[in-house]
Structure 1
Amino acid sequence: ATAKVRNCKVRDWPATPLRGHSGYGDDLVEFGLFNKLNFFFNQTYCFTDASLPDLDLIYENLKYMGKPFADFGLEFYVADRTPMFPKLCLTSDRTFQYHLKRHLKLAGDRINISMILDDSRYPLNEIDAEVDGGKGWRIDNQYVQKLYSAVKEKYPDVKMVFCPTYYWGPHWKDSYADSRAEYFKGMKTYLDPEIKVFWSGNQVRGYYKTEAQVQWFKDSAGRKPMVWQNGMGPHIRMNYGCELIDWTAWHYEGFFENDCVGYMANATFPACGFALAHMAEALWKPEYYRASDENKEDVLKRASDQLCGKGIYYLLRPGTKALSYTDRYLWGNGMTLNPLLFEESVDELNELYETAKTAMEKAVAINPAARKYSNHYGMPLDKLMQLVDQYDDPRSYYDLPEFKQAHGANFKLAETEAKFNVMNDIFGNAFDFQIGKPVIVDKRCAVQYFPKSPSRKGIWKFETSDIPESYELKICGRLGQEGDEVPTVLIKFNNNKLYEGPAKFTADTWSFMNFKISWEDVEGKDNQISIENISARPKWSKPLTYYINYAVLKTSGKEGAAGDLMNFDGLF
């Protein structure tokens, strides 16, 4: 008598018609259903090489893989790249029958079809090349349409997606015998409007798509684009799992709702599990996602909790935020170290590393799948550890070509400013101070030094004459920042302290710190001068830095006696 039933009506629908990804993995159907994905382009288990045997077993496996997608009304496609490997003749009926036989089998098993001609179609097969002067715009589009029509005649419900040679544009470079305009004219002229055409945006791996670019695609191809999103993460192509990927910032308001037939992330499963679940939520209602950062985090939290259980978001999110620090080392599709490593605080690096490492350990303790869904999480974690390992033995970047010309100019500056005498004095160029961050400041090659960093100390080693002499040391430098606070330096000649205190340089010009060195402090021929930045550096504070341009040890010989008589161009 106390039981109650609530009556309600729920009306909900996605703004983006098709939402999905490339690749295939176990449990993908379940993942797609729970995350409201409905487009799956299988380029993991597919057709890549026409020289390989077309085994019945392949079709049996694909039939098994595709059945649950079809049963739930999800679009499942299989990639066919065989026209490119090896280069098949698309004007040949034999080639057409080869593809028709395959795609009829797939369609008969309720699997949708494709034709992929993206990166290796050109140069054309020799026979095809004779038809239109090496251009494929007519041949390719007529072939795709002929194949689609033949399969659809027998299986009216089949769908097709096509990746053309030009899947990017309009502004990024033309690359082939055809112009982009010609190829798109072929699509608009010959292709059925129901054939979906992949488009990655203006660039192959770009993020942003403007209204003008999308309008160009619609006008040129005669249809809305099916987005092939290559840049799937905020770190070029990488994503670290439980982190924001701002799809709505890359696309103008109304794009998902009105100007695309679908959105496919070029991403694998399960590695991109967090990113795909997050994307599916964002593309379902992009206006909510776009509204605020709080909404974005809420979408990420719900996606993460749904995928791995409640609490995972709160564990992993600090870790992915810490890993984002390593974006300064992104390069290509991965990471490489660069001169920025000389700025790093070892205390800060250790904190970031421990935060990210502990975050994943705690998440995995709750659900081991958290690691496999986090894709590239391990790469920046390893990079942080590599930076820590280099703290006492950093790689030099003095050999970078952009510094060589300016480095040679320092010699002439020393002759003018410090009255360097090549016959009597000893010259220490910027890069003779091992080791620091190479920079160009005010058109001068210099080395920058940071406290508690791999570049905290520069050491210049040199030989003196066999006869002990007294010297005047002139160090040409400059402060790395303006303000009342200046870095504290410790300067030594061999083991003798010359100075400890505030660096007596200025921020707006190059100046000298001068010291007298007694012949009694000279230790045979092999000597050294060290300049160390010993400033305090609280964690996450802006460090106090300075630049060293060059140094000169002057003897009592006549100034400038021979320096103007010799030309050292090209020696440095």
Structure 2
Amino acid sequence: MRRQYTDTIWAQPGMALKPHGRLSGRIAVLVLVGSAVLRAGLPDTPTHTLTGLSCPYRLELEDFNQDGRTDLAVTSWHRLPGSKETYDHAKDKLQFFFARPDGTFRGPADHELNVRSPWGLWAGDFDRDGKTDLAVKQSRRAVHVLLGSEGLSRLHTSVTTNDSDRMVMAGRLSPGGAIDLLCGPAWRKWKGGDTFDVGYCYGPTANDNRGALIADLNHDGHNDMVFLTPHGIRVYYGPFTSMTVRPRDLAQLLEIKTPLPVSSVQIADLTGDGRADIVAALYDRKTKQRALVLYQQNAPLDFPGNPEPTARLDGVSGQLVTCDLNLDGRSDLLVADASKRRIHVLLQTEAGTFPTNLNQAHQSLKTLCYHLRVADINGDRFPDLAVSDGQKEIRFFVSDGVFARGKAPVPKAAGQPKQTARRTAAAEKTKPSKPAEAAPPTEGTADRKIAGILAALPPAEPGADHSDPLRMPFYTGTVLPTPQQAVYHDEFYTLQETGLLLAAGLEAQSPLVTRLRERIERFGGTVRIVDDASVEVDTLIVFGAAKSADMLKDVPAIPAREQAYIMACGKPGERAVIVLQGHDRLGLLWAVSSFGQLVHTRKNAPVVRAAEIVDYPTTPNRGFIGGTWVNGTDYCLTFKINKPVFQTALLDRAAPTKKARYDGWRQPLSDEILADLKAYGDGLTPYGIEWYAGHNPTVTDQKIRSADERDFQVILDWACKVAEFGGHLCLKYDDHRFPISSEDMERFGSAREADTQLLLRLHRELKARHPKAKILFCPPFYWGPNSPALYPEKRDDYLFALGSKLPEDIEIFWTGPRVKSGRVTADDVAWVTERLKRKPVYWQNGFAMPHMFLYHYVTDPIPILNEWFYDGFLDSLDTYMFNCMMPTYAAAAAACSDYCWNPKAYDPERSIREAATKLVGRDTYPALVAFNSALSYFDPFGLRRTPGAARKLPEMKGKLAVVNAVWQEIQENRNAAAVKRWTGLARHVTQVNRFHDRLAKSPDLADYRRDAATTQAHAEKEVAFAEDTDTFLSPYDFMGGYGPKHYANRCEKRLATWVYATRSANPRMEATFRVEPFPPEGDYELVICAQDDDWEAKCDIRITVNGTAIFEGENPHVRFGWSHHTYRIPAAALARKSRLLIENTEQGGREGGPPFFMLNYGVVRKAK
């Protein structure tokens, strides 16, 4: 639900709020340019006053009588004469005052009804009938819904037993029902009439959630919940799959410990960066300390763990309200400080800064202010203030549009009633602080915003780093993955003349020595091999276990751990000495890698930063699952990745289509593939990197047959060819194994027996030829136990067979309890380990990115690595790795390696910043952050051309200009070569530009916007289509039919598309839909609204999904009217991206008459 102006969260009387301690860390000081003569458009005294009220505690402003003017709702308590806090609640009232034509309010109330101890109010169109409804929170135990269609005269009540919160907020939190109501931790889903579903939001250790705010903080299309706690602020991130909300089930939980207890919270973009910030009013009753604090989101979206305030303003507290007071497109802040009888107005400047001194307020109104509401009261578009004194009056401060000395007010449309923007509950998510009908930014405003974004970037640093992308890793001052122990010094040793003293057994031409030399020489240094430590050089590197290492004092011992290494530095005399040693071959390699990350240019001279490092990986294996990437050696060595999987390396990329590539799996490996394998071997094998090349012989109609000797020899040849270059085979069956061939069923009786027998023979014959070669296998049952497996064999039987029969050195993939898993428990790992009898290779399918299609835009932190897994998780695995596109996701995979190397030190923010900066350079990383922020605007659209997207075209044009401007800056002034090599972001620039252009130029756009919305409304009414869970297919979503056009022959006029007989030009129509998660947990269903042709005989049709017929024969729909019918789709027929085909199977080629079959809409959803 979208509100025009957002309300606040309040701490309720009696809440046990305690300070958690003093503020620690550094606070950013942001300056708001202010002037004593600035105004915020509001008069210093009330424009008019409504008097004669009884304890007007809470207010709401909205058009309650549907006349286009803003009206007033008031909760009024009946205080007994002569008392301060004694009431006769039987006489309490909810009162409505309807606006007069001149925009004023007068008593007595135009409408009122008795409501016992009413408090919180929230208005909106809950049932989407075009009339304003109202939620009323009783001070204790109950929440009421009043409907505009019933004249706001009848209470629909949910009596609660677990709720002592006085406030209510409405929005959409999960599918179903008409509206969700949040009363502190108590969740009510109003379903119409007197029907409510009941839910509750539990706290992590105690049920201490109070207050409630609904907002989409991370712009993922799902509303989140924000609560007050005794020690600060708590955010539950959506989506919510159950109304019983427990922190352990959340995708993300944020705890903010504030420096003082919280009394009020608001969500708005108060810094002008396009991200929602959290602003909180703090008050300590014991010490009387008061403050406002701002928590700013990081780019692109998220708060750091244990966030500290970005800015702080001391000496003020109270109710917070955000809105755009001066209609400049920026959120402004009002603070109603009841104890000081002041309302402070803080306008956001173009710089997007936050005040640090109350004297910088643009205006301070002196008035009693028990409760403040903001809305356009007089119809001039400028927000006005309604302020209750909590005793007997409500004062109105009507904006005159004058916001600075000398600026003329905006003319008002005298005598014209305001057209109130409806607050529709179902269709849109709450995004605070934006006017519902804000005018799109002008071209000048957009240009200034772009200029501001570019001006905020650090200066470009063109030079050798830009011209040589192979200087990656670019210098950041530290090492990644994060070492176990590291001390960095502000000393920099010159590498102008470098001596290299080698330990016994290290050859001058060996790969490790060559890599070390090349790193120094790339930055302009010189290296010569020396035999004596006394030789005169600027810096001496003692490489390996050379005796001269003892020339440095206190050289640390190398940990007795796999892949451990040390780096030690010092100046025992005039020259610098660096010692690089490793526990084993890989350890020495990682010493070279860490040294290389500290090499850079300083004052045009090659230097290395001095550091002492003692390091080893917590997890011995670190990898990624990519496609074909033959030039990934430098990347793997830099980020200490020792187990990369190239899952399509054996696929013939020269084949013209994807289908041809997989169909040709039995063909001998091409010269191009063999050249690729040589490149992998030449690049990775000499360093001891365990790399895998893969293929899948089941993604075809001609699947592998374990009983066929030719098929076996193809797989054996793959494994041997890979092993010849020092690699290992990755054999994938995963989603395409079933159905198995009739030959295998006849010989083996089951897929598990066929697969184990093939793997046993493959292992035996491969080992005979290449004893060190390995096999990594992905079975069809690669997940469990949570999601069901809908294959013709039992998952347990298959997995237990693998575990009991296969040698332990055949590695097996697992993606966790689900196909795309989130949290993993020790029980989940125990389940799979019991079956496989070995540690699984964990394949992370999706890592919770905030963008459309789960894209990672290079600079996104990856917090799930700290949140989804228990202590000891990595110890229970052979390897943990992301399934990702490489090198597009190079930054993400490097952050994953950082987590695996040293999980206790993993910091999502630092990790992704270090990884991305090492890939593109220090001057380019901030530009990518700005680019991410700009590109993220397009996420909610999902590249879908819809009526909703079309309504955003004016705004979208400005946002696209920002994307293109930042991208142009990257291409012209930043390290464009590195960005191209490591990010793949150019693809997204093309995507959003094409999306915008096609949306703007579509000749059918106006029809689509109107007709698709109308058609969808039919589906909602007739078959209970739910946008949150179902896929809607309008005639515009189908290709190949005759249409779309409107049809009204002896039936209701509706949009339709249709198919004629088999030999006509339009015998079939098709559409696509996505299935997530995949494999599905059960069958789906297709609901079609359609009609038969005009003949008495039914038209024959066939409906297939991915080639599987789900219906064939006489269609079951009526003629001369629209009817709907449900067709079941077996889970086995589904694919991630499924193809729906509807065919007319009648013979003939006639068009313009029967036989035809006509469709109005389709709905695809999980079967009930």
Q: TM-score range by the shorter chain?
A: 0.5 to 0.7
Q: Does residue 245 in structure 1 map to residue 862 in structure 2?
A: yes
* Counterpart-to-counterpart distance in 1, 2:980 and 2:1009: 35
Q: How far did residue 161 of structure 1 move?
A: 0.4
Which residue number in structure 2 is paired with residue 3 of structure 1? 575
Which residue number in structure 1 is paired with residue 944 of structure 2? 336
Q: How far did residue 195 of structure 1 move?
A: 1.8
Higher helix share goes to which structure?
1
Q: Secondary structure at the match of 1:144?
A: helix
Q: How far did residue 217 of structure 1 move?
A: 1.5
* Counterpart-to-counterpart distance in 2, 1:255 and 1:343: 50
Mapping of 1:481-560 within 5 angstroms?
Answer: none
Q: Does residue 269 in structure 1 map to residue 872 in structure 2?
A: no
Q: Percent identity?
A: 23
* Counterpart-to-counterpart distance in 1, 2:1026 and 2:781: 41
Q: Secondary structure at the match of 2:649?
A: strand
* Counterpart-to-counterpart distance in 1, 2:669 and 2:996: 49
Answer whether contact 1:161 1:197 (CA < 8 A) is retained.
yes
Which residue number in structure 2 is paired with residue 423 of structure 1? none
Which residue number in structure 1 is paired with residue 1012 of structure 2? 399
- Counterpart of 1:248, as a letter, is L
* Counterpart-to-counterpart distance in 2, 1:381 and 1:241: 17
Q: Does residue 361 in structure 1 map to residue 981 in structure 2?
A: no
Q: Secondary structure at the match of 2:691?
A: strand
TM-score normalised to structure 1 length: 0.62
| Alignment partner of 1:96 out of 701, 705, 712 | 712
Answer whether contact 1:77 1:114 (CA < 8 A) is retained.
yes
Answer whether contact 2:647 2:730 (CA < 8 A) is retained.
no
Q: How far did residue 242 of structure 1 move?
A: 2.4
Q: Secondary structure at the match of 1:21?
A: strand
* Counterpart-to-counterpart distance in 1, 2:769 and 2:731: 18
* Counterpart-to-counterpart distance in 1, 2:964 and 2:817: 37
Answer whether contact 1:205 1:230 (CA < 8 A) is retained.
yes
Structure 1's unaligned 5+ residue stretches are: 290-294, 409-437, 441-568
Q: How far did residue 261 of structure 1 move?
A: 1.4
Q: How far did residue 170 of structure 1 move?
A: 1.9
Q: How far did residue 304 of structure 1 move?
A: 1.4
Q: How far did residue 256 of structure 1 move?
A: 5.1
Mapping of 1:212-223 within 5 angstroms?
Answer: 212-223=827-838
Answer whether contact 1:277 1:303 (CA < 8 A) is retained.
yes
Tell me the alpha carbon deviations over residues 245-300 of structure 1, each in whole angstroms, 9 at most, x when there is no partner: 334156313365312211232223232233333333333323322xxxxx322211
Q: 1:114 to 1:3 in 2, by over 3 A?
A: closer
Which residue number in structure 1 is paired with residue 231 of structure 2? none
Q: How far did residue 128 of structure 1 move?
A: 0.2
| Alignment partner of 1:298 out of 896, 910, 914 | 910
Mapping of 1:350-499 within 5 angstroms?
Answer: 350-364=957-971, 365-368=973-976, 369-375=978-984, 378-379=987-988, 382-383=991-992, 386=995, 395-396=1008-1009, 398-399=1011-1012, 402-404=1016-1018
Answer whether contact 1:83 1:90 (CA < 8 A) is retained.
no
* Counterpart-to-counterpart distance in 2, 1:342 and 1:83: 42
Structure 2's unaligned 5+ residue stretches are: 1-572, 580-610, 652-661, 1028-1120, 1124-1159, 1161-1168
Q: 1:261 to 1:4 in 2, by over 3 A?
A: same
Q: Secondary structure at the match of 1:359?
A: helix
* Counterpart-to-counterpart distance in 1, 2:916 and 2:665: 41
* Counterpart-to-counterpart distance in 2, 1:56 and 1:26: 14
Tell me the alpha carbon deviations over residues 404-435 of structure 1, each in whole angstroms, 9 at most, x when there is no partner: 16779xxxxxxxxxxxxxxxxxxxxxxxxxxx
Q: 1:247 to 1:123 in 2, by over 3 A?
A: same
- Counterpart of 1:219, as a letter, is E
Answer whether contact 1:243 1:321 (CA < 8 A) is retained.
no
Q: How far did residue 222 of structure 1 move?
A: 1.8
Q: How far did residue 53 of structure 1 move?
A: 3.2
Tell me the alpha carbon deviations over residues 455-512 of structure 1, each in whole angstroms, 9 at most, x when there is no partner: xxxxxxxxxxxxxxxxxxxxxxxxxxxxxxxxxxxxxxxxxxxxxxxxxxxxxxxxxx
Which structure has the bigger radius of gyration? 2
Q: 1:380 to 1:175 in 2, by over 3 A?
A: farther
| Alignment partner of 2:768 out of 153, 168, 185 | 153
* Counterpart-to-counterpart distance in 1, 2:680 and 2:575: 44
Q: 1:247 to 1:94 in 2, by over 3 A?
A: same
Q: Does residue 81 in structure 1 map to residue 689 in structure 2?
A: no
Answer whether contact 1:224 1:260 (CA < 8 A) is retained.
yes
* Counterpart-to-counterpart distance in 2, 1:233 and 1:376: 19
Q: How far did residue 316 of structure 1 move?
A: 0.8
- Counterpart of 1:71, as a letter, is P
Which residue number in structure 2 is paired with residue 346 of structure 1? 954
Q: How far did residue 6 of structure 1 move?
A: 6.5
* Counterpart-to-counterpart distance in 1, 2:933 and 2:732: 37
- Counterpart of 2:1012, as a letter, is D
| Alignment partner of 1:311 out of 923, 933, 958 | 923
Q: Does residue 14 in structure 1 map to residue 14 in structure 2?
A: no
| Alignment partner of 2:635 out of 20, 31, 35 | 31
Higher strand share goes to which structure?
2
Q: Secondary structure at the match of 2:613?
A: coil
Q: How far did residue 396 of structure 1 move?
A: 1.2
Which residue number in structure 2 is paired with residue 280 of structure 1? 897
Answer whether contact 1:197 1:226 (CA < 8 A) is retained.
yes
Q: How far did residue 3 of structure 1 move?
A: 3.5
Answer whether contact 2:645 2:730 (CA < 8 A) is retained.
no
* Counterpart-to-counterpart distance in 1, 2:854 and 2:936: 13
Larger relative contact order (CA 8 Å, sep ≥ 6): 1
Q: How far did residue 351 of structure 1 move?
A: 4.8
Which residue number in structure 2 is paired with residue 182 of structure 1? 797
Q: 1:329 to 1:212 in 2, by over 3 A?
A: farther
Answer whether contact 2:645 2:692 (CA < 8 A) is retained.
yes
Answer whether contact 2:815 2:844 (CA < 8 A) is retained.
yes
- The alignment of Structure 1 onto Structure 2 pairs a total of residues equal to 406
Answer whether contact 1:270 1:373 (CA < 8 A) is retained.
yes
Q: How far did residue 241 of structure 1 move?
A: 2.1
